[in-house]
Amino acid sequence: MYYLSRVEVDVQNRAKIKDLTHLGAYHNWVEQSFPKEIATGERHRHLWRLDTLAGKKYLLIMSESIPDSEFLLKYGVTGTIVTKSYDGFLDKIHDGQIMRFRLTANPTHTITRPGKKRGKVFPHVTVTQQEKWLVDRSEKSGFELVKQVGVNDLNETQTLAFKIVERDWPMLHRNPGRAVRLSRVTFEGLLRVENAETFKQTLVKGIGREKAFGMGMMTVIPEA
Fold agreement between 3-88 and 94-222 = yes
The topology (CATH level 3) of 3-88 is: Alpha-Beta Plaits (3.30.70)
pLDDT of res. 224: 67
Distance CA 171, CA 182 (A): 7
pLDDT of res. 112: 83
CB 178 within 8 A of CB 195: no
- Report how many helices (DSSP H) and strands (DSSP E) the chain contains, helices first: 6, 15
What is the per-residue pLDDT across 117-176, written as a single tens digit (0 to 9) for each? 788 899 999 999 999 999 999 999 999 999 986 655 555 567 889 999 999 999 998 777
Distance CA 174, CA 213 (A): 10
What is the domain partition of the chain in residue ranges?
A: 3-88, 94-222
Which runs of consecutive H residues, i.e. helices, occur in 93-222?
127-138, 196-205
Closest CA to 179 of 12, 3, 25, 16: 25
- Domain over 94-222 is classified CATH 3.30.70.1210: yes
| DSSP string for residues in 79-93 | T--EEEESHHHHHT-
pLDDT of res. 84: 98
pTM value is 0.91
Closest CA to 104 of 11, 222, 214, 179: 214
- Report the alpha-carbon angle 50-145-156, nearest 5: 125
pLDDT of res. 178: 82
- 3-state secondary structure at position 197: helix
pLDDT of res. 153: 55
pLDDT of res. 24: 95
pLDDT of res. 99: 97
pLDDT of res. 152: 57
Residues with pLDDT less than 70, the chain: 149-157, 224
pLDDT of res. 110: 92
pLDDT of res. 41: 84
CB 100 within 8 A of CB 94: no
